[in-house]
Amino acid sequence: MKIENKRIIITGATSGIGLETLKLLQKFQGTRIIAVGRKIELIPKYENVIPYKCDVSQEKEVDALFQFALEKMNGIDIFIANAGFGYYEKINKPDWAHIEHIYQTNVFSPLYSYQKMVELNPENPFSFIATASAVAFYALPYYTIYSSTKYALNGFLDGIQYELPKNAHVGLVYPVATKTKFFQTSSISTQGKEIWPTQTPDKVASAIVKGILKNKWKIMPSTIFYLSTIMGKFFPCMIRMVMKKQVKEPA
Ligand SMILES: NC(=O)c1ccc[n+]([C@@H]2O[C@H](COP(=O)([O-])OP(=O)(O)OC[C@H]3O[C@@H](n4cnc5c(N)ncnc54)[C@H](OP(=O)(O)O)[C@@H]3O)[C@@H](O)[C@H]2O)c1
């Protein structure tokens, strides 16, 4: 889908991958963008960007976001569900609220936003992008619950291909470890060791933009990761061995 003149919402726009994507999208002529996050003071000022404070884990707040977009832009052509976070942890006690908290942001919110886009656009062509992760293919040690949220998005993509409306494009993004605040937020301690491979958020952002322009189904910003998904089909044990060594057990 062309990006010029489109009405866009991007969540998780206050930092990392979302912020870099926002910087690229706002350059396209005629775009109007609602940039979403909780710390909206971090969003740079652009003429065509409206910062919007919203906790995307809450149904009512997502409803209000769509209402706001209708009032300000009279519609939404591209929705990028990028907001998300991780847990670095050892699972050792039952905690419903802990699981619910991450699923609300990482899974319920993107799926619900997709439903809202379908309802809003019975005919108007639209693109829906969500940021999954490389861990949607290969779970990362001690990121078990987080990985499961991204596997859930992968399942959504697998299913939606059978019922995708003709006017819709859906794409998932699969970044590898990206140098953002993500690791601080999930309190990861890799004991000084860098997860491999890594990439920068601007690289992921330009892959997202290309993915929208080319209506890509799976957006893989890392070539090494793309090759590993092919290799993993033939040598799954090798991939598991690499993953096992990536992160140490939490103290
Ligand atoms: N960094 C990586 O290694 C990596 C790898 C694969 C996939 N990803 C995925 O990429 C996406 C972006 O992460 P990032 O790496 O850019 O991390 P980041 O720098 O920590 O950014 C996370 C963004 O999500 C927003 N967010 C989180 N919870 C929210 C909520 N409840 N409501 C509204 N906004 C919320 C944050 O905004 P506020 O705090 O302002 O609300 C922030 O803008 C996530 O979905 C993450 O799972 C990251």
* Tens of pLDDT, residues 3-39: 999 999 999 999 999 999 999 999 999 999 999 999 9
Residue with CA at minimum distance from ligand 1 atom 41: 38
Instruction: Please give the number of the atom of ligand 1 that sits closest to the Cα of 56.
Output: 32
Structure tokens given for 176: 């590898």
Q: What mean pLDDT do residues 231-237 have?
A: 87
Instruction: Please give the number of the atom of ligand 1 that sits closest to the Cα of 132.
Output: 7
What's the pLDDT at 241? 84
Q: Decide which of 201 and 189 is more confident.
A: 201
Categorize the per-residue pLDDT at 130 as very low, low, confident or very high, splitting at 50, 70 and 90. Answer: very high
Measured at the alpha carbon of residue 243, what is the angle toward residues 241 and 244, in degrees to the nearest 5?
65
CA 166 / ligand 1 centre spacing (Å)? 30
Q: Which domains does the chain have, with CATH numbers?
A: 7-244 (3.40.50.720)
Categorize the per-residue pLDDT at 193 as very low, low, confident or very high, splitting at 50, 70 and 90. Answer: low
Give bridge partners of residue 173 from the DSSP assignment: 131, 219
For ligand 1, which residues put their CB under 6 angstroms from it? 11-12, 14-18, 37-39, 54-57, 82-86, 105, 131, 133, 175, 177-178, 180-182, 185, 201
Residue with CA at minimum distance from ligand 1 atom 2: 178
Instruction: Please give the number of the atom of ligand 1 that sits closest to the Cα of 150.
Output: 47
What's the pLDDT at 187? 62
Report yes or no: 124 and 78 within 8 Å, Cβ to Cβ.
Answer: no
The percentage of the chain sitting over the pLDDT mark of 70, rounded to a whole number, equals: 96
From 9, 10, 11, 17, mutation site for ligand 1 pocket: most ligand atoms within 8 A of C-beta:
17
What's the pLDDT at 85? 97
Answer yes or no: is pLDDT of 191 > 80.
Answer: no
Averaged pLDDT score across all residues of the chain: 94
From 182, 184, 187, 246, mutation site for ligand 1 pocket: most ligand atoms within 8 A of C-beta:
182
Report yes or no: 75 and 124 within 8 Å, Cβ to Cβ.
Answer: yes
Report yes or no: 144 and 137 within 8 Å, Cβ to Cβ.
Answer: no
Categorize the per-residue pLDDT at 232 as very low, low, confident or very high, splitting at 50, 70 and 90. Answer: confident
Answer yes or no: is pLDDT of 107 > 60.
Answer: yes
Q: Decide which of 44 and 184 is more confident.
A: 44
Q: What mean pLDDT do residues 227-234 have?
A: 90
Answer yes or no: is pLDDT of 74 > 70.
Answer: yes
Report yes or no: 45 and 95 within 8 Å, Cβ to Cβ.
Answer: no
pLDDT tens figures, 139-162: 999 999 999 999 999 999 999 999
Q: In which region does residue 50 sit, left (phi positive, over 0), alpha (psi from -120 to 50) or beta (all else)? A: beta
